[in-house]
Structure 1
Amino acid sequence: MSTPVFLVDDDRQLLRAMAQTLELADFAVTPFASAAEALSQLDRDFAGVVVSDIRMPGMDGLQLFERILGLDPEIPVILVTGHGDIAMAVKAIQDGVYDFIAKPFQSERLIQCVHRAAEKRGLVLENRRLRDVARQAEDDFPLIGQTPVMDRLRQTLRQIADTDVDVLVTGETGSGKEVVARLLHNWSRRAKGNFVALNCGALPEQVIESELFGHEPGAFTGAQKKRIGRIEHSSGGTLFLDELESMPLSTQIQMLRVLELREVTPLGTNEVRPVDIRIVAAAKVDLADPEQRKAFREDLYYRLNVISLTIPPLRERRDDIPLLFRYFAERAARRFQRPAPPLSADILHHLRAHDWPGNVRELSHFTERVVLGMTPGTVAGGSSATDTQPGSLPERLERLEAEIIRETLTAHGGNVQETIAALQIPRKTFYDKLQRHGIVRREFIGGSR
């Protein structure tokens, strides 16, 4: 199939000549005598290239490019320039124009430039297609569960997905807060935009502002290049702020302004940029409770809390646990190229008896270890499974200690500081025990929040 090319020039003679050149090179050319006419035919799914003269009455080529940027910044735009416009065209390339061709030019130069731009556009659309496929695969895991509380949660997500209201999600570590945020994005009309996630507790205070708001070159020491912040990058899509309770106070004040005015000012500039964002925020604590909220601003909490969702922990929906185990087992079997294990009586007993403080994340790690051939007694997170294992008392205590460490690492997503605090042991002792038990901490990092 020929790549479409929109050709824009008010010089009808030159327009015909360029159209003929590109048609002979097997491009599907649509000529336009004005930029406004071409723009009216463009949309985000345009699969081709735009070639435009710069100097035209009404809307010129640069203005057309700016309008296309708002439509889809990844549509390649090639500008045709006169000698006096070259400096202008070079600046336009810095702003995102794909290339420029200076008059007079050889036909081959035009063909090669359009061909390269068409290849780039093809890759962009293929990546989008693959992203859509991945998104559909994610929909195979839409908060798996058949309990009434999960049915209600899915129904609520469907109802509010297209409302564009900001949402506050609360739930324990590993319960699936990011899964909820992604589903709200995927099920909304914002699905074509970016889903941008930021863990507010993972970045130091001096870095988080640059990550959120972006910066200009020279805004601070080490800022050598312009950086688009997460907020601006998520414009048209969804911004997911995880561990909201960890956001520094100074950043909270700035975020309150963003929420109220829907605009952002990058560091190092006075330029105000409007943003079209939807924020889904997640917290591990109940921000409605002043004691748990602590230093978190009350006004920011109420501004974000337009709609509040609570994800129940696994211990409150135990009937879903075997279903989740089967899902994770099949996924792990494909990953490790192992057969999916049957749901044995021992495994089922552990699934029902354990409290799963790490929730879905802990269950996922447990299932992976079962698929790798470890028995429930060597992977379970409680004494009930260990007490039945043979061996001397010191050996059984060693196994129990290893399981407690694994369970605590899982519950805290591999975070060393939180795990040490929960175990109440010195850091050196913690690392000594990891080495003695052969526990690899990085295996516990990540998973569904």
Structure 2
Amino acid sequence: LFGHEAGAFTGAQKKRIGRIEHASGGTLFLDEIESMPVSTQVQMLRVLEMREVTPLGTNEMRPVDLRVVAAAKVDLGDPRQRGAFREDLYYRLNVVTISIPPLRERRDDVALLFFYFAERAAARFRRPLPAVPAAVHRHLREHDWPGNVRELAHFAERFVLGLEEDAGVASPAPAQPDAAMKLPELLERYEADIIRETLNRNEGDVRRTIEALGIPRKTFYDKLQRHGIVRSEFSR
């Protein structure tokens, strides 16, 4: 976040510009700021007040000009939820507040978001978008979505891949193969689907994926290239 100079600590072989200095002239986004360590909060407060940053390993103060946008999963304005988050930093950041209600409080948005994520997943995995059965519609209406949009997006991905069986939700029927396709083409498509599903289940982790598939690493990368699969798209 603050950067460091070469030799500032063991392993610091070269200078590294921190995110704050890198964002100078633009916007710095701080996600889940309620989990920021207290020591970092002190440094961040100094940056906001002085508009300067001091990288680790130097006494040089470097001017920065940036806008800070922070997000939190709790109401930092409530002392009961604030925890160890510094009150002075909260008020320094709290210029404009945008409150986004959880999904359980805006159920009319759930279906719209689900179809958006499902269409995006279908394009990403190169799968047809399955018909949505009544059980899925019921799950979308009745589930409280404690994980909010992230949980809904992952649910949509599993649905498209035919992996969603939670909460009594039936997996969609697999798409019927094209009658004009020959056996080698069908096998190629089936292999590509298995690789994509395994990558998605293991969040793009190569080691876990090749262990699950039971193939050598070189064979795995050869198959990725042949099927046009981009591993990084499955990382989370």
TM beyond 0.5: yes
- Quote the RMSD (CA, aligned, Å): 2.3
Structure with greater strand percent: 1
Counterpart of 1:330 (choices 98, 115, 119) is 119
Counterpart of 1:280 (choices 43, 55, 69) is 69
Q: Is the counterpart of residue 239 in structure 1 residue 17 in structure 2?
A: no
Show the counterpart of 1:345. 134
In 1, Cα distance between equivalents of 2:29 and 2:152: 24
The amino acid that maps onto 1:370 is F
Counterpart of 1:269 (choices 44, 55, 58) is 58
In 1, Cα distance between equivalents of 2:88 and 2:131: 51
In 2, Cα distance between equivalents of 1:386 and 1:337: 23
Report the Cα offset of residue 291 of structure 1: 2.2
TM-score (norm 2): 0.69
Do the aligned residues in 2 keep the contact of 1:315 with 1:355 (CA within 8 Å)?
yes
Gaps of 5+ in 1: 1-211, 388-413, 415-434, 436-442
Secondary structure in structure 2 of the residue aligned to 1:240: strand
The amino acid that maps onto 2:138 is H
Cα 1:444–1:247 change in 2 (3 A) is: farther
Gaps of 5+ in 2: 171-202, 204-211, 213-232
1:10-57 CA-partner distances (Å, limit 9, x unpaired): xxxxxxxxxxxxxxxxxxxxxxxxxxxxxxxxxxxxxxxxxxxxxxxx
Do the aligned residues in 1 keep the contact of 2:5 with 2:56 (CA within 8 Å)?
yes
Do the aligned residues in 1 keep the contact of 2:51 with 2:63 (CA within 8 Å)?
yes
In 2, Cα distance between equivalents of 1:386 and 1:371: 13
In 2, Cα distance between equivalents of 1:445 and 1:289: 35
Show the counterpart of 2:47. 258
How much identity, in percent, do the aligned residues show? 74
Report the Cα offset of residue 295 of structure 1: 1.6
The amino acid that maps onto 1:352 is R
Secondary structure in structure 1 of the residue aligned to 2:145: coil
Report the Cα offset of residue 349 of structure 1: 0.9
Report the Cα offset of residue 299 of structure 1: 0.4
Q: Is the counterpart of residue 215 in structure 1 residue 4 in structure 2?
A: yes
Do the aligned residues in 1 keep the contact of 2:139 with 2:169 (CA within 8 Å)?
no
> Which one has a bigger Cα radius of gyration?
1
Do the aligned residues in 2 keep the contact of 1:356 with 1:362 (CA within 8 Å)?
yes
TM-score (norm 1): 0.37
Counterpart of 1:229 (choices 18, 23, 30) is 18
Do the aligned residues in 2 keep the contact of 1:333 with 1:371 (CA within 8 Å)?
yes
Alignment of 1:296-375 (within 5 A): 296-374=85-163
Report the Cα offset of residue 373 of structure 1: 2.2
In 2, Cα distance between equivalents of 1:232 and 1:327: 36
Do the aligned residues in 2 keep the contact of 1:252 with 1:300 (CA within 8 Å)?
yes
Do the aligned residues in 2 keep the contact of 1:263 with 1:273 (CA within 8 Å)?
yes
Report the Cα offset of residue 259 of structure 1: 0.3
- 4+ residue runs over 4 A deviation: none
Alignment of 1:90-169 (within 5 A): none
Secondary structure in structure 2 of the residue aligned to 1:276: coil
Secondary structure in structure 1 of the residue aligned to 2:41: helix
Show the counterpart of 2:190. none
